[in-house]
Amino acid sequence: MTIGLRHRAATRGATLPGTDAGEAAVFAPRIGNGALFGGLALLTALVGILDVWTGDELRLLPLLVVVPALVSVFGTIRQTVGVATSITTVVVFSRLVNGGTFWDITSSVAFTVLACFLGVGSCALRLRHAAEIARLRSAAVALQRQILRPLPILTEQIFAHGIYTPIEEDRLVGGDIYEVVQSPYGTRVIIGDVQGKGLAAIGAGFAVLGAFREAAIREPTLTGVVDALEDAVARHNAFSAQTGEIERFVTALVLDFDGEDRVQAVNCGHLPPRLLHNGVACAVPLRLTSVPLGMAELSLEARVAEWLDFPPGATLLAFTDGVTEARDASGAFYPLDARLGHWAGRGPREVLDALHADLESFSGGVRRDDIAALALRRAPAGSRHRPVATGHGARRAAETFSGR
């Protein structure tokens, strides 16, 4: 009954309470009724002609009982029931016209009804299983979205725009993370990517986020923040080893904005950011890149912070490898730097919108990894000493500062 209700809601364009878009898509028809039943009529006519041509030596119409089973693979329950009813009517009529013994006709009709019933049952079971998988995938994505702070974010030092598009396939769901924290020492920002896929990668990402939110406020130095993140990943890996999970590392770019013309950065094996300024986009050279979080014991060198130029009006774009490793139909990687050159004169929000749309077009809508990107620009004048705003509050603040 539940499946039937959800199916009717989907075919009417409505969504039941508790049914998300992914689950509603499960019950939506993949082929229109006109095409389906038109093809069925054509197939029935063709088989009927062949049945008449072969005569009593070979009856082909009873073979139509396999059609409901085929429709159950891709059709809705309503479509499968409609096809099963049509096939049953045709086969029964054919048996009555051609005649035969009572038991011959009865067994043929009973077999047809049973086959059609199994086809409808198979369709119902397929949709129920698909709906359960859709709910699990949506739960994982919702969990990611609840842990990550909504964008944009306005602090005393910066205005952080961003895009975050998690992949919903359970075996491919990634651990992309980001956070922006206002601290007594400035605004601390992290963007990172957990090694591996699956729900276990999300757990490692949560461990890093929790440690960052605490250390960003507590630690006076950026290297102290990163050391706290390293300890958090090490503890998480130790717990994972006890529970049979594999150990993971996390690439991360950690930034500190103090309102001046430079930004402090510690790069833990992450992709270097891009700087967009005066119509030019270029990669920011990071000469002191260290090992990812969770791998400090493999390196003899301590992590060191370096300074990056951040002139007024510039946008610093940080991102995960879901951007650079997106592929087109031929397998070519996304040419990020070439595309950014066309958008370097735009504002941060416009750059992200163009990037997101271009990635979808380039990959044909087929994604194999999460996509996260932050476009960071100095906060508008007058934002100092104001509380941190996020989401819609940050948008309203930006419009106020821009005079709109």
* DSSP per-residue string spanning 145-156: HHHSPPS-EE-S
Instruction: Give the chain's mean pLDDT.
Output: 81
CB neighbours of residue 336 within 10 Å: 21
State how far the Cα of 20 lies from the Cα of 18, in Å rounded to an integer: 6
Residue predicted with more confidence, 36 or 293? 293
294-308 in b/e form (b: 16+ CB < 10 A) is bbbeeeeeebebbeb
Angle between helix axes 67-74 and 77-98 (nearest 10 degrees) is: 170
pLDDT digits (tens, 9 = 90+) for 191-221: 999 988 766 778 888 899 999 999 999 999 9
State how far the Cα of 268 lies from the Cα of 275, in Å rounded to an integer: 19
Does pLDDT of 277 surpass 70? yes
Does pLDDT of 117 surpass 70? yes
List phi, psi (to 5°) of 252.
-155, 145
Helix and strand element counts for the chain (H, E): 12, 12
Lowest mean pLDDT among 27-41, 164-178, 269-283, 320-334: 164-178
What letter represents residue 358's amino acid?
A: D
Q: What percent of the chain has pLDDT over 90?
A: 41
Residue with tokens 């595309």: 339
Q: pTM for the whole thing?
A: 0.67
Does pLDDT of 108 surpass 90? no
State how far the Cα of 209 lies from the Cα of 233, in Å rounded to an integer: 10
Closest alpha carbon to 290 in 320, 269, 318: 269
Give the model's pLDDT for residue 383. 55
Give the model's pLDDT for residue 24. 67
DSSP state, 300? S
Q: Which two tokens stand for residue 374?
A: 């932050």
pLDDT digits (tens, 9 = 90+) for 48-74: 777 677 766 566 667 777 788 788 778
State how far the Cα of 231 lies from the Cα of 365, in Å rounded to an integer: 38
Give the model's pLDDT for residue 2. 40
Q: Where are the beta strands (DSSP E) in 269-327?
A: 274-277, 280-283, 306-309, 315-319
Confidence of residue 402 (pLDDT cuts 50, 70, 90): very low
What letter represents residue 169's amino acid?
A: E
DSSP state, 251? E
Residue predicted with more confidence, 394 or 46? 46
Confidence of residue 17 (pLDDT cuts 50, 70, 90): very low
Residues in CB range of 328: below 8 A, 6 or more apart: 334, 362, 363, 364
Give the model's pLDDT for residue 161. 96
Does pLDDT of 315 surpass 70? yes
pLDDT digits (tens, 9 = 90+) for 281-303: 999 988 889 999 999 988 888 89
Give the model's pLDDT for residue 401. 42
Q: Which two tokens stand for residue 339?
A: 């595309």
Give the model's pLDDT for residue 20. 56
Give the model's pLDDT for residue 16. 37
State how far the Cα of 312 lies from the Cα of 377, in Å rounded to an integer: 8
Give the model's pLDDT for residue 139. 63
State how far the Cα of 162 lies from the Cα of 374, in Å rounded to an integer: 4
Q: Which two tokens stand for residue 218?
A: 């507590």
Q: What percent of the chain has pLDDT over 70?
A: 78
Beta bridge pairs of residue 172: none
Does pLDDT of 36 surpass 50? yes
Q: How far, rounded to the nearest angstrom, does the alpha carbon of residue 328 sit from its chain's CA centroid?
A: 17
Q: Which two tokens stand for residue 151?
A: 């964008």
What letter represents residue 197's amino acid?
A: K
pLDDT digits (tens, 9 = 90+) for 171-183: 445 678 999 999 9
pLDDT digits (tens, 9 = 90+) for 227-273: 999 999 999 999 888 888 888 999 999 999 998 889 999 999 999 99
Q: Looking at residues 132-140, what average pLDDT do you find?
A: 68
Give the model's pLDDT for residue 253. 97
Q: How far, rounded to the nearest angstrom, does the alpha carbon of residue 186 sit from its chain's CA centroid?
A: 32
Q: What is the DSSP track for 317-373?
A: EEE-HHHHT-B-TT-PBP-HHHHHHHHTTS-HHHHHHHHHHHHHHHHTT--SS-EEE
Give the model's pLDDT for residue 400. 43
Beta bridge pairs of residue 255: 189, 265
Residues in CB range of 224: below 8 A, 6 or more apart: 215
